[in-house]
Chain A
Amino acid sequence: MLKFILRRILIMIPQLIILSVLIFALAKAMPGDALTGQLASSPKMDAQTLHELKQKLGMLDPPYVQYFRWLKGLLHGDMGMSIIHQTPVTQLLAGRMENTILLSAAVLILSYLIAIPLGIVSGRWTDSWADKMVVGYNYITFATPLFIFALLMLFIFGFVLGWFPTSGSVDIRVENGTFSYFMSKVNHLILPAFSGAIISTTVTIQYLRTEIIDTKIKDFVKTARAKGVSESNVYTRHILRNSFLPIAAFLGYDIVSLIGGSVFLESIYGYPGIGQLFITSIAQRDFSVVTALVMISGLATLVGTLLSDIILSAVDPRIRIE
């Protein structure tokens, strides 16, 4: 097992290097640069100064020089400067990451809290009215786009009922670090977290339901029943344990979603996070931010896959990794 983990970690190194080359080449292949947008709106700029500026920002160096400069910085934990934000990328990301992780973790936890009971109910009592409701719910949430649903939630619970704040991650008027600050953060989190969670339960519910239905008719369950094990024990001990396997395997990947953020939620609820930063940085050609974010999510994906494998082998003794 240890050997396996070590081997996987070693393989990550060339994978990351290839990823870095690819990201960098693709980023540089995009038309335009970070100055394009800025100057288009206020063109007080002569040709010479523009040239000087590009030189100063290192945009005119040959691509390989730029790549190695970037790589060298990366190894020192320096992801470069954001031209648009005039801030070191690490600092910029740190600021946004807190919000993103908070929101994504809330979405994740809520979605499991909703999905697991629903999946169990609909799998155990197949074709009952409860199952039909759950399946109906699943179809609706699967078909509803997040940005419409988030707007709808905001409209109903934020504006019409007025239960929750409608924008931002915290009320600026409360003192930092106090209890009311914490409550304000939670209060601002509920609506976006629920919107995200309800929309993202489909896969979990569906997996759980299918797995339970499949397992129900397996031989070892029949044996258990024949031995006179009580129905509730059959479910908790035998069926559920096996049905959770694919969901456990997903846990590792959820780490990626933790740091990826959600463009729609962030934008609609005015919740500054990573997802939006990524999209606007691409549009504004703020390369250092784009490359940093892709690298981080690349790394997270690799680690997430590894974790998934480890979790899977831990919960399922049949899978042995050598």
Chain B
Amino acid sequence: MKKKRHVFKFLSLFLALGLVLSACSSTTGGSKNNASKPKENIGNFPLAVKNTKKPVKDGSLTYGEVSDTPFEGTLDYAFYTGQPDFDVMQFFQEPLFATNGDYQFTQDGAATYKMSNNNKTITVKIKKNVNWSDGQPVTAQDYEYSFLVIGNKDYTGVRYGDAIIQSIVGMKDYHEGKAQNISGIKIIDDKTLSITFTDANPSLLTGLWAYAMPKHYLSDVPIKDLGKSDKIHKNAIGFGPYTITKMVPGESVEFTRNDNYWHGKPQLKTIIFKVVNPKVILQSLKKGEVDIANYPTDQYEAAKGSKNFQFVGKVDLAYSYIGFKLGHWDAKNSVNVMDNPKFADKRLRQAMAYALDEKSVGDRLYNGLRFPATGLIPPSFASWYSKDTDPVGYDPKKAKALLDKAGYKDVDGDGFREDPNGKKFVINYLAMSGGDIAEPLAKFYMQCWKNVGLNVQLVDGRLAEFNSFYKMVENDDPKVDIYGGAWGTGTDVDPYGLYGRDVPFNYSHFVSDKNDQLLKQGHSVKAFDHAYRQKTYVEWQKYMNDEMPIIPTLFRSVVTAVNNRVTNFTVDPADVFVWSEVGVSSDTPAAE
């Protein structure tokens, strides 16, 4: 039966491909009639599960980590790299601050904070009853210690690159070994400390490093050995709602209730975390072997209508895009230089965006669970996302008109447009391999561009593997004109880290004075004013949609499958205490 389903999946993929191609090759743009069944819309998914039954006492729940590889087991925020490790940590580690729907700190978490009048100093007060799971109090020294670790020259992780961490007064001297301590961090008493920054940045309140490290437990390990210490691998401790009581490396973890949890006694007695292969997750859910799992959206169709579990979902903090190589990265001066004339005309870039039928891609390849992106800030940032940014929709007529106006005309009658000088115009497109959809997607985009008369070819005639892709993009390989990538935004809305003039991840190398100015305004002291910041980012989204150095293509949804017996579970970003509140209304999971 399993085998059959595979064949079916394969067939449906071809079918989908056929439908898609026909959608884009019709010149009228008609993707209207061939939608045979209603597509999913993430807006229809609830954030919280519906289960009004009373939770049982001392229940147990199984969390399925959907992954085809074991988890690495580096269980500290300063050192971890993989998403599975992050998912393990959510049960026993906790940031000091709770956050609201905009991912901004509130006063409800393990610590409260106060900003100084000039917004350059934050004073953090850890609540009295917050203790590590070994009973020791969480102190100001613990919070300071995490900065001392990350800033240390022997630190082996990747978190020091964060601009906010580097903007702490005295961090640079400490990092270079000129100082023993970070002068900007002052311990006021055992539970209070203040951190002073070189400039006031509203992103502090979302992006500030919010994790304390148990200094009493870790400080006897030299920082250069901390990353490999068992104290952050097998025997990690935290102050979250549960504690690790047992681990089978790479495959499962047993958590037991932390009875001293500061935010009240957690509902469940135990949580089992285990890795489940994506190929069997549906069966595991149906059988009730897994209560909660982030469900792979490409399999959603097969799971729909299951009786014993329900879905919750939201828009992910990520977007897919196609970028234009507009220049190069000057590594010597650490600055982006926009000097590639090939795509200098923004009408060409806009036309290429108008040519893409994203709605069809989302509906047919992703069953509606990915949908056309409207700009460079996803709707998961409720306050900053702008609905009226004049999104670039699918409009092949407009695309053609723009190309005509810009002088890209088919002079020799081969069906493809030549550049304004009458020379052959070929665009080399770098697309990444991975997953079943990568190939049809790239082909589909090329077809869309062909429909408006643009000759787009894959770099080297094939999809590029992940590492080769990034190597070519990072090194500004001259073979690459445009490239299709995706960014996870993290919870900090500030796009500077991806589009600033002096950041290496600005792979398109788009720079302009207006962009500099808007990005600067967005994290200036004035932007502590919510309305001002909102206005700035709306303007920036509009500006980028007009300049179009990056075509935002798709936003994505994340859905979570939850067994019917689970109570109080939610994916609402504003509910940070979800794991201590989750319960089960029956001792045995619902099975199909």
Contacts and interface: CB of A to CB of B under 8 A. Distances in A.
Interface of A: 30-32, 35-50, 53, 56-57, 81, 84-88, 91, 95-96, 148, 151-152, 154-155, 158-159, 162, 166-170, 172-173, 267-272, 276-277, 280, 283, 285
A43 B498 contact: yes
Interface centre among A43, A84, A159, A283 (most CB of B within 10 A): A43
B211 to A, nearest CB: 14
Interface in B237-278: 246-254, 272, 274-277
Contacts of A152: 2-3
Interface centre among A87, A88, A169 (most CB of B within 10 A): A87
Interface string B278-295: 011001101101000000
A251 to B, nearest CB: 30
A38 B252 contact: no
Interface residues of B, number: 65
Contact of A166 (B3, B6, B280, B468): B280
Interface string B472-495: 101000000000000110100000
Contacts of B82: 84
Interface in B157-194: 157-163, 166
Contact of A280 (B69, B279, B334): B69
A270 B334 contact: no
A102 to B, nearest CB: 13
5 contacts: A32-B466, A50-B161, A95-B249, A151-B3, A280-B69
Given A81-B228, A84-B72, A85-B74, A45 B161 contact: yes
A81 B163 CA distance: 28
B287 A159 contact: yes
A277 B68 CA distance: 11
Nearest to B283: A159
B248 A172 contact: yes
B74 A47 contact: no
B70 A283 contact: no
A98 to B, nearest CB: 10
Contacts of A46: 161, 163, 166, 334, 502-504
Interface string B346-379: 0000000000000000000000000000000000
Contact of A155 (B69, B156, B233, B283): B283
Contact of B280 (A36, A47, A57, A154): A154
Given A32-B470, A44-B159, A148 B6 contact: yes
Interface in B72-113: 72-74, 79, 81-83
Contact of B161 (A44, A95, A285): A44
Contacts of B287: 159, 162, 166
Given A84-B81, A151-B3, A270 B468 contact: no
Given A43-B498, A173-B254, A86 B74 contact: yes
B280 A41 contact: no
A267 B487 contact: no
B248 A168 contact: yes
Interface in B435-466: 466
B252 A268 contact: no
Given A56-B156, A267-B69, A285-B467, A167 B283 contact: no
B497 interface: yes
A53 B158 contact: yes
Contacts of B249: 95, 272
Given A167-B276, A168-B274, A45 B283 contact: no
B283 A43 contact: no
A290 B185 CA distance: 42
B523 to A, nearest CB: 14
B331 A47 contact: yes
A99 to B, nearest CB: 9
A49 B161 contact: yes
B151 to A, nearest CB: 11
A153 to B, nearest CB: 9
A43 B497 contact: yes
B300 interface: no
Given A32-B466, A272-B70, A47 B248 contact: no
Contacts of B504: 45-47, 50
Interface in B133-170: 156-163, 166
Given A168-B251, A168-B274, A148 B505 contact: no
B251 A272 contact: yes
A171 B415 CA distance: 63
A267 B490 contact: no
B158 A45 contact: yes
A86 B161 CA distance: 18
Contact of B156 (A86, A95, A272): A86
Nearest to B278: A267
Contact of B272 (A158, A173, A267): A173
B471 A47 contact: no
A267 B69 CA distance: 6
Nearest to B154: A56
Interface centre among A31, A44, A162 (most CB of B within 10 A): A44
B3 A172 contact: no
Given A88-B228, A271-B251, 15 more contacts: A35-B158, A43-B497, A85-B72, A86-B157, A91-B228, A148-B3, A155-B1, A159-B283, A167-B274, A167-B277, A170-B248, A172-B247, A270-B70, A276-B69, A277-B70
Contacts of A49: 160-161, 166
A36 B470 CA distance: 7
Given A43-B505, A45-B161, A172 B274 contact: yes
Contact of A270 (B83, B272, B277, B466): B277
Contacts of B81: 38, 84, 86
B55 interface: no
Nearest to B64: A167
Contacts of A36: 466-467, 470-471, 474
B549 interface: no
B227 interface: yes
Contact of B158 (A39, A151, A155): A39
Q: Which 3 A-B pairs have the closest CB atoms?
A: A32-B467, A45-B161, A272-B250
Contact of A167 (B228, B280, B334): B280
Contacts of B470: 32, 36-37, 40
Interface in B392-441: none
A96 B69 CA distance: 12
Contacts of B233: 86-87
B95 to A, nearest CB: 16
Contacts of A151: 2-3, 6, 279-280
B228 A270 contact: no
A44 B206 CA distance: 14
B327 to A, nearest CB: 15
Interface string B1-42: 111001000000000000000000000000000000000000
A42 B490 contact: yes
A37 B228 contact: no
Interface centre among B160, B161, B287, B472 (most CB of A within 10 A): B161
Interface in B562-592: none
B30 to A, nearest CB: 37
A86 B488 contact: no
A22 B534 CA distance: 56
Contact of B467 (A30, A91, A272): A30
Contacts of A283: 466-467
A268 B280 contact: yes
A44 B471 CA distance: 18
A172 B161 contact: no
Contacts of A40: 470
A49 B175 CA distance: 11
Nearest to A285: B467
Given A47-B503, A88-B228, A32 B252 contact: no
